[in-house]
């Protein structure tokens, strides 16, 4: 396997060659933001100019967030793949942008931010301080006699020999936190809305992003360890340590808060909590046997969305559920009433309720711990994706409630699949102008997502919501308004130039490379282009192009081109579709 890992694409111009990365962390490869990387060596200009001395280690910071990915062994190629993912992601650009957006002149700040990478890890250095560190898990930790993982479910085997990765993020002092990247970039930064905990907000955002990228690498390359969607996986787990245990293990003199205070240094343990356990107890508290009761927000702030501005965290009592509007695979959507001060407004409320393993619906019902983890995970992907988006044809997330986790969304009249049914009942079709306006608005939304490297992955009429649309009996008149928005970001993903390998979406709208789960062809933004073609066909003809997805799958497996159900010529506009069908390479 190793010999094929020649290089990873960092971006359109740069590649990362793992075998050229320095083995030794003390002499790392320096990657400068927004400029070509310099290979560091003792005499190289890049290094001597940049580094006055080693950066202050992150574990000496007064406040840090820590996450462990625990595995029985670290798979080959894991770190180079993760480094490439991090460097490719919005994480790199957004952290850099937020650190460099301060009042100091930008040339000065540019020299203050850089990445350091070596064969098995990387760190982000700002102002001679390490503010993010991704490195192999050193086990057992110095001054500890091992770890005890707290969970109510069975845990990975052979805990004494655990390996994996640790992520550490510094919570910078308030006066050094320049900007909070989670706020949608198109909106002006409202310093008040985040001021109560700006630094934790930013550190949580970084922790959540890196955790997410590590999960993507596991899912895409080491499926057997993937734990996010395979909830019964006993080989791996994500944990966060008790911060007091962590501090005591790194510097035993700091263990002032120990409850019993009698443990000898040699007997000190590092207690840590699995993320599913934290998510189940996120409303209450969790307890460290050595340090007593802890808030989940202290241990795993991402699980209580501490990276969101406080205004986006809506108290549960302010949302009243009314009738059910729709139901999908993992969610129920209700109409709701949101109280803001003395005002009330109608909203849609999405309650995520996966009761089984999302990848295998044949598996038994999930245990409560795994169910709350699945709910958190589904909500996290969708809410965090939507929170950063701001576009007239993209559904707006108004906020979330935490206990239970629900997404509060702007309320639509119906979805486009229901509009089609209403037209069909009246034996009417969409006028050309209606089609044109609807398709243009959907294309606008897709172009916005793609400009941010977001693959939507589930474009279909049921996920296009309708506010204004001509009634079936209406003739087109210039006053007819059309407003549609794209909704349901549960499986959307920010993708890197390598694309992604995992299969997700609605079969009738998926291109061959995804339907066949091709190992050779990663899914790229073209997946949405193909689905857009399918939606276009559906809106023209009010039918699916190829009938059953099972039939399409079997035809593709026999290298046959699926037959279109409706022949070209029956509906205006299908000519273009005929050219593009079966391959998503046409854009």
Ligand X SMILES: Nc1ncnc2c1ncn2[C@@H]1O[C@H](COP(=O)(O)OP(=O)(O)OP(=O)(O)O)[C@@H](O)[C@H]1O
Binding residues: 350
CB count, 10 Å around CB of 64? 22
* CB closest to ligand X, residue no: 328
Closer CB to ligand X, residue 237 or residue 412?
A: 412
Residues 6+ apart with CB under 8 A from 504: 457, 458, 491
Q: Which of 331, 408, 446, 564 binds ligand X (CB under 6 A)?
A: 331
Note the Cα 311 to chain centre separation in Å.
Answer: 21
Q: Cβ contacts of residue 295 below 8 Å, gap of 6+?
A: 285
| Range in contact with ligand X (rule: CB under 6 A) among 118-126, 256-264, 324-332, 510-518 | 324-332
Contact string 125-164 vs ligand X (x = CB under 6 A): ----------------------------------------
The answer to whether 534 contacts ligand X (rule: CB under 6 A) is no
Nearer to ligand X, 197 or 438 (CB): 438
Contact predicate 347/408, CB 8 Å = yes
Of 40-48, 183-191, 224-232, 328-336, the segment contacting ligand X by CB under 6 A is 328-336
Q: Which range, of 230-238, 241-249, 325-333, 518-526, touches ligand X by CB under 6 A? A: 325-333
**Which 394-413 residues touch ligand X, going by CB under 6 A?**
395, 409, 411-412
- Cβ 463 to ligand X, closest distance in Å? 5
Residue 184 binds ligand X, judged by CB under 6 A = no
> Which CB, 333 or 514, lies closer to ligand X?
333
Q: Burial letters for 90-118: b for 16+ Cβ neighbours within 10 Å, e otherwise?
A: bbbebbbbbbbeeeeeeeebeebbbbbbb
Looking at the chain, how many residues does it have?
587
Backbone angles phi, psi at 462, to 5 degrees: -65, -20
What's the closest the beta carbon of residue 547 comes to ligand X, in angstroms? 20
Residue 351 touches ligand X, criterion: CB under 6 A: no
| CA gap 327, 330 in Å, rounded | 8
The CA distance from 551 to 313, in Å, is 45
Question: If binding is defined by CB under 6 A, does position 333 make contact with ligand X?
Answer: yes
Instruction: Name the region of 341 (left: φ>0; alpha: ψ -120 to 50; beta: rest).
Output: left
Short-list 99, 102, 124, CA closest to 114: 124
Which runs of consecutive H residues, i.e. helices, occur in 56-197?
78-88, 90-100, 106-110, 191-194
Q: Tell me, letter by letter, the H, E, C secondary structure of 240-308.
A: EECHHHHHHHHCHHHCCCCCCCCCCHHHCCEEEEEHHHHHHCCCCEEEECCCEEEEHHHHCHHHHCCCC
Residue 324 or 452: the one with the smaller Cβ distance to ligand X is: 324
| 329 binding ligand X? (CB under 6 A) | yes
Least gap, CB of 324 to ligand X (angstroms): 9
Q: Smallest gap, in angstroms, from Cβ of residue 352 to ligand X?
A: 8
Residue 463 touching ligand X (CB under 6 A): yes
Tokens 């509906």 sit on residue: 571
Nearer CB in complex with ligand X: 281/492: 492
Find the shortest distance in angstroms from Cβ 469 to ligand X.
13
Residue positions forming the annotated binding site for ATP: 350
Token pair 């791996």 is found at 236
Q: Is 459 in the site for ligand X (CB under 6 A)?
A: no
Selection from 281, 276, 335, 341 nearest residue 314 by Cα: 341
Q: Which stretch binds ligand X (CB under 6 A): 36-44, 156-164, 456-464, 511-519?
A: 456-464
Q: How far is the CB of 416 from ligand X (least distance, A)?
A: 9
81 or 493: whose CB is closer to ligand X?
Answer: 493
CA–CA separation, 240 and 572 (whole Å) = 58
**465 near ligand X, rule: CB under 6 A:** yes
Out of 18, 156, 490, 511, the residue judged to bind ligand X by CB under 6 A: 490
Contact with ligand X (CB under 6 A) among 292, 326, 472, 499: 326
Question: In whole angstroms, how close is the CB of 348 to ligand X at the nearest point?
Answer: 3
Question: Applying CB under 6 A, which residues contact ligand X?
Answer: 325-326, 328-331, 333, 348, 350, 395, 409, 411-412, 415, 458, 462-463, 465, 487-488, 490
């Amino acid at each position: 396997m190793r010999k094929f890992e020649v290089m990873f694409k960092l971006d359109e111009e740069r590649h990362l060659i793992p075998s050229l990365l320095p083995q030794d962390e003390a002499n790392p490869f320096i990657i400068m933001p927004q400029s070509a990387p310099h290979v560091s060596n003792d005499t190289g200009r890049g290094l001597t100019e940049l580094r006055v001395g080693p950066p202050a280690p992150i574990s000496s910071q007064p406040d840090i967030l820590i996450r462990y990915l625990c595995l029985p062994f670290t798979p080959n190629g894991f770190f180079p793949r993760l480094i490439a993912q991090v460097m490719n992601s919005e994480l790199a650009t957004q952290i850099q942008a937020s650190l460099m957006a301060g009042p100091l002149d930008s040339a000065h700040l540019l020299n203050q931010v850089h990445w350091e990478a070596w064969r098995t890890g990387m760190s982000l250095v700002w102002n001679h301080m390490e503010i993010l560190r991704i490195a192999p898990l050193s086990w057992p930790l110095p001054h500890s006699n091992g770890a005890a993982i707290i969970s109510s479910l069975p845990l990975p085997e052979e805990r004494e020999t655990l390996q994996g990765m640790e992520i550490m993020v510094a919570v910078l002092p308030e006066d050094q936190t320049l900007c909070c990247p989670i706020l949608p970039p198109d909106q002006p930064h409202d310093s008040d809305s985040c001021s109560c905990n700006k630094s934790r907000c930013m550190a949580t955002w970084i922790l959540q992003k890196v955790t997410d990228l590590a999960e993507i690498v596991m899912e895409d390359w080491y499926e057997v360890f993937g734990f996010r969607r395979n909830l019964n996986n006993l080989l791996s787990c994500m944990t966060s340590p008790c911060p007091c245990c962590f501090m005591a293990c790194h510097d035993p003199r700091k263990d002032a808060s120990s409850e019993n205070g009698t443990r000898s240094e040699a007997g000190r343990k590092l207690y840590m909590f699995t993320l599913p356990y934290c998510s189940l107890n996120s409303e209450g508290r969790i307890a460290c046997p050595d340090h007593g009761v802890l808030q989940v927000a202290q241990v795993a702030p991402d699980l209580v969305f501490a990276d969101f501005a406080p205004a986006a965290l809506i108290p549960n009592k302010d949302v009243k559920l009314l009738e059910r509007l729709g139901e999908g695979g993992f969610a129920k959507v209700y109409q709701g009433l949101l109280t803001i001060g003395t005002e009330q407004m109608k909203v849609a409320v999405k309650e995520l309720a996966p009761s089984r393993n999302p990848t295998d619906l044949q598996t038994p019902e999930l245990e409560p711990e795994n169910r709350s983890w699945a709910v958190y995970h589904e909500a996290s992907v969708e809410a965090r994706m939507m929170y950063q988006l701001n576009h007239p044809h993209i559904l707006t997330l108004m906020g979330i409630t935490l206990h239970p986790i629900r997404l509060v969304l702007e309320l639509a009249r119906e979805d486009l699949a229901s509009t089609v049914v209403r037209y069909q009942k009246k034996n009417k079709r969409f006028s050309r102008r209606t089609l044109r306006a609807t398709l243009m608005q959907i294309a606008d939304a897709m172009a916005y997502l793609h400009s941010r490297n977001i693959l939507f992955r589930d474009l279909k009429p049921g996920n296009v919501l309708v506010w204004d649309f001509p009634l079936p009996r209406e003739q087109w008149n210039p006053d007819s308004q059309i407003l549609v928005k794209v909704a349901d970001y549960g499986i959307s993903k920010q993708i890197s130039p390598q694309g992604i390998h995992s299969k997700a979406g609605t079969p009738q709208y998926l291109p061959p490379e995804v339907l066949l789960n091709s190992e050779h062809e990663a899914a790229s933004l073209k997946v949405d282009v193909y689905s857009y073609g399918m939606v276009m066909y559906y809106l023209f003809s009010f039918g699916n192009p190829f009938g059953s997805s099972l039939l399409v799958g079997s035809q593709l497996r026999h290298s046959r081109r699926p037959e279109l159900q409706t022949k070209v010529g029956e509906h205006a506009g299908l000519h273009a579709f005929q050219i593009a069908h079966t391959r998503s390479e046409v854009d």
